[in-house]
Structure 1
Amino acid sequence: MLLVCEHASKTLPIQFGDLGLPGEALSSHIAWDPGALSVARSISDALDATLVYQRFSRLIYDCNRPPSSPGAMPETSEIYAIPGNKDLTAEERLARTDALYVPFHDAIRGLIRDRRARGQDSVIVTMHSFTPIYHGRERAVELGILHDEDSRLADRMLDAAAEAPLYRTERNQPYGPEDGVTHTLILHGLSNGLRNVMIEVRNDLIADDVGQGVMADYLKRLLQQSLDDR
């Protein structure tokens, strides 16, 4: 298993300052996926899975978006305008792409390539969290199992979740392929014929160590059962 956490950190590279944002925005879900890295690390430790995560905030570059996407370096996120991302030049966009996006995805490509050279295929699992209220609307879903065209692993995880329904779990919620969130799955999973899935956890459920541990144990069981059933 190859675990990927694109939105692991709220840290901004020092040269970008605060992007013109207040502290509350820089600590909120627009800057990162709270709890996602801790859950991913627990799963990585339990299943001896390699974990690749981005060390800088998605406000600088969202590594789950291609360079051509406006969302890669967003000018707005939910209710916040992001002054430091407004009217970026082509050169500025390229510099961020080369500094953050390219090495991140090259690292994943290298792991897949090296494993295949040893006769091993990878399973791609990306870990995310989402806010319980978005644009003023509450989200009832607690756990989202997302996929693009390849639903093999997602189907098995949804079946496993239905057998042990600890959380309200839904397919392609609160986002789906139509929202452009499956870039990493397409880039490394679909393009290589590898099983893949994106996991979205409502972040109020993983706001502390206890919640993170319970969620990690549950996801570990879902993944183990889904992979054992292949």
Structure 2
Amino acid sequence: MKYSDNCTVVDHPLVKHKLTQMRRKDTSTAEFRALLQEISLLLGYEATRDLKLTDEPIETPLAKMDAPVLEGKKLVLVAILRAGQGILDGMLQLVPSARVGHIGLYRDPKTLMAVEYYYKVPNQLADRDVIVCDPMLATGNSAVAALNRIKRSKPGSLRFVCLLACPEGLANLREHHPDVHVITAAVDEKLDEHGYILPGLGDAGDRLFGTR
């Protein structure tokens, strides 16, 4: 479902059901982790819908044919640490041959701005399709910072996959990166005074790793 020009909400019944299970405060760490991987497969399906194809001659057990295969350089998946790893793990099940990168960012508790502490992505991003993964698009500052960094390497295309978004985060990302499309499971109501999505599901990193 198209939410806005820069955002698609994947409103499949299985996505909605699994997201509800993740929102429950009594969902265990193991259940939360498994559900995130399952939803990530479904989000990844939508995020890769328009990857370019070319025909390649092959032989089936019965005949020769020209069959579609992915065209060009391998896809790159970039996780924003630490919670982005949960989406990355799910999407790698869908695209196991993808190259992988990581960007370490934390949110300054006073300014809510993103501070980078780690950056390791494949050397050659030029002309590659890149999908950035992070469960929450809240203020949008981490997403904007990550996309700023990646764009220096001139990727062929950029998409952002998240579990939850909110209007404030989408507006921030659209202002700075109008060319980057967001694929998400839901757009929630708003941010609270601490920069958390409401109604949300709490801190995705803490729930994914059992650190709170």
With structure 2 as the length reference, what TM-score do the two structures score?
Answer: 0.28
The structure with more strand, counted as a fraction of residues: 2
The structure with more helix, counted as a fraction of residues: 1
With structure 1 as the length reference, what TM-score do the two structures score?
Answer: 0.27
